[in-house]
Structures are given as C-alpha cells and as structure tokens.
Amino acid sequence: MEAETARAPAGTTAPAPSREFELTDRDFSFVKQFIAREAGIELSDAKRNLVYSRLVRRLRALGLPSFSAYCSYLETGNEEELEHCVNALTTNLTAFFREPHHFEFLERELLPRLLREKREKELRVWSAGCSTGEEPYSLAMVLAERVPEDWNIKLLATDLDSSVVATGAAGEYALDRITGISDARRKRWFLRGRGPREGQVRVRQELRDMITFRRLNLLDPWPFRNRFDFIFCRNVVIYFSKDTQRALFERYADQLQTDGHLFIGHSETLYRVSDRFKLLGSTIYQRTG
C-alpha cells in the first residue's frame, strides 16, 4: 500500500523544502550588486532560485559553510573566484545559424556590397557575446564561402565567460549540435569523431584559423585599434539596464565603420536606446552617426 502524502491543514502554507544552505536577503542582495558591477547584468528577485542553484556548487567546491561566507570570499577580490562566479551566473544559449535571416542578409546583401566597395580587401568582424562558438563559426562558414581567398578576414569572438570561450576555441561539439546545418556544410566544415570521440564533431582547422577567441567584459575598456565592418551582439543586452545599454550601443557605434552594421537579438531593440543607427530590417541596423 502506498503511504498517504502528508498535507498541510486547510488555511495554512506548507513549509518550503529544506535546503543545504540558506540564501538570505542580504546575501542575495550582495550577489545582485556584484554581478551588476562586474558584468552589467541585472538580476530580478525572480532569479533567486537560479542564483542558489548556480552558486551552491561553488560553496561545495570551496568547502564553505554558508552563502555569507562565500560573499565574504568574493569581497577579498580573488580573481579566480570572481571569474568562476561570473561564469556561473551568465546564461549561454546558442546554436549554429541561429536567427537565420541575419545570415541570409549577410550573404545576399551586405557581403556583396562590401566586396564591391572595399578597395583594401579586408574585413573586420566581431561576434560580441560569442558563447560556445556556434555564432562565430556560422559567420566563418559564410565568409569562407563568399569572400575570395585573397581577402584578409579578421573575425574576433569574445565572451565574458572564460569557459565558453575555451569551448569555442576548441571547436568540438556533440553531433546533434549540427543537425540544423545543411549536408553540404556539414561535409565541408566538420570532421566526425571516431573511437572514443564517436558522436562528436570538430570544426575544420581552416575555419578555426579564421577566428580569434578572447575573454572580454563588455563593460571594460576595449583594446581595439581598428573599426569593424559589422558586429553581431545578439541576446546579450537583454540582461543589462537601459543606461548600460545606451552606453554600450554608443561604444558600438564608435567601434563600427561609418556605415557599419549591427546585428542584435530577436527580443532586443534600439528604440529609445540609441539614435546613431537606422533600422534596415528585423533587428538589423546600420550606423548613421
């Protein structure tokens, strides 16, 4: 016979399930202020469970007795743990050729124009918020297929999370990650693993050589000497305050060529955020000022 499930008396609230550690209001407030300061990310109160589940692993790894002790540890400024904390609290959702209309515009309109107009035969591209590398590799495929070999292509891929940057640089993925890519591109640009690497694929060296992966906090100074022809920064600023967004898009405008292009995520907009771009199509902008 199954045991009857205990119920709280009518009119009362059942107690919340006990947790290994307590995340107090003070500790949660500290974490929110920390990630806002370090990464520009604003966490709402609805993210409290996410903070607990992501950071409880760090408490266990460090052998700390409480979230309060962990917050105190962060306050010491330990660079390695600061990075671990930021990595834990950032979200990395991506896919090859995500939001395909961006890549269609790139192939059909933007690249043909750049190939006609740029006399120096050089393209500079930035994937800002590259996550585990699917976006910059998608860009690299299009560029390798459409741009003549005598052109100099510099493709920079950056992210705040050092662990996803390392994944991108390695260029190795589970086989099911490339199911949405055409057969022709899968055969041309990926190597299938064998033996212990069965079920894995690796991006061909030709594409990997096109991309420079770097960790970069978008709130920090940018070490760039030259301007970019176009920038992909998709599904990144949704985590930022409006003031941070305004400052960031101002810097993007400064970092683009005079008529350079900016691609943002499907849930993002520059409306009332920046007046230095004009909207060309769905989340595709061109610098005007």
Residue bearing tokens 């671990």? 84
How many CB atoms neighbour CB 232 within 10 A? 26
Q: Which two tokens stand for residue 170?
A: 């390695």
Helices 79-89 and 67-75 pack at an angle, to 10 degrees, of 120
Q: Which two tokens stand for residue 239?
A: 């985590």
Asked if 253 and 227 count as a contact pair (C-beta separation under 8 A), the reply is no
The active-site residue out of 27, 58, 98, 159 is 159
208 included as an active-site residue: no
Name the strand (E) or helix (H) holding 189: helix 183-189
Q: Which two tokens stand for residue 133?
A: 């590398």
d(CA 21, CA 19): 5
H helices present in 41-182, as ranges: 48-62, 67-75, 79-89, 100-105, 111-117, 134-146, 162-170
- Cα–Cα distances (Å) from 154 to 7, 17, 151, 208, in that order, read 63, 52, 10, 12
Q: Which two tokens stand for residue 80?
A: 């390695």
**What are 231's strand-pairing partners?**
126, 262
159 included as an active-site residue: yes
Return the active site residues.
Answer: 54, 159
